[in-house]
Structure 1
Amino acid sequence: MATRDQPGAPVPTEGADFPVAAGVLFGLGLGGFFDGIVLHQVLQWHHMLSSWYPITSIENLERNTLWDGIFHSATYVFVVIGLFVLWRRARGRHLRWSNRALIGSLLVGWGLFNLVEGLIDHHWLGVHHVNERVDRSYWLAWDLGFLAWGLAMLLGGLWLLRRGRGPAEAAPAAVRR
């Protein structure tokens, strides 16, 4: 086991910035989990390929369920990588844990998830739409609302990140050094 005097040992750094990449990865994963759990499973508004393979047969339901699982696996990988990045960055260091940076980076990741997933899956590929339970004439409105929600989260997250990287947030004097 390495000690602080050995090469390769973690070097403590005072006030190192919050690992934003970890927060963005967590946000991507949480956005995917929300989409998959709430929209796919609980509300059953759509499934991963439900525009291409409507849920009109057991075979199509099985195909969609498989692809929902693959989608959930990808979002799980984002969370695992985010945890790894956080662990590597925080291990042996003193980070400046900022609530604004954490929430901001989560919102950036979730907003990016909504924008990328919305643009690619809803608009470009058309594999599914946000709410396929409403009349088809409303699908575009739901898809645009999903994009607006993603953009709002992204912009709000960037704003919080900027504020979270400014002067130290109000903290007890014993914590500030």
Structure 2
Amino acid sequence: MHPNTDPQIYWTLLNHEDWNMYIAATSSGLCYIGSQSKSFDELAKWVESRFPGTVLARNDEILQPYKAELIEYLQGKLTCFTISVDFRGTPFQLAVWNALCQIPYGQTRSYSDIAGHIRKPAAVRAVGAAIGANPLLITVPCHRVIGKNGALTGYRGGLEMKTRLLTLEKESSVFEGSILHA
């Protein structure tokens, strides 16, 4: 983790239909997406632990491009994000998070698949811990990781949020496929 060079982290509340989550960005890109319907305290605690001494400043304008893409995703219209991100972690965490970004929209992988992808097949538990530390729910799609037996497993946003995201992607993929094959 490198030291924070930003004096502020900008935040806003994303409200779309029944989705409500706090999002935050540095001057370099989106750095945090909160859990569905959690309080501002979740964001404040994360910033305090990852960016000590940083000021949190509400700025709806700076976060508008990030909100716009997230809303398009939640509407089933966007399958690939183009927004800049600023995720900071250990080299191992970054390798895991980059592997998550390679899971295609509407598909899932197991923790063992991710461990194999980063060439650390024995590190399944460490992969799980890195996934649990992912600060960018949705855009770094940790919701696409399931247990080896196909069971839904832990998710920082809660299993209800994980289920909703997987259902959204499955339904959007089926709809998109039916248009392409019509």
Indicate the structure with greater strand content.
2
Which structure exhibits the higher relative contact order, with contacts defined as CA atoms closer than 8 Å and separated by 6 or more residues? 1
Q: Looking at CA atoms only, which structure, 1 or 2, has the larger radius of gyration?
A: 1
Q: Greater helix percent: which structure?
A: 1
- Calculate the TM-score normalised by the size of structure 2: 0.30
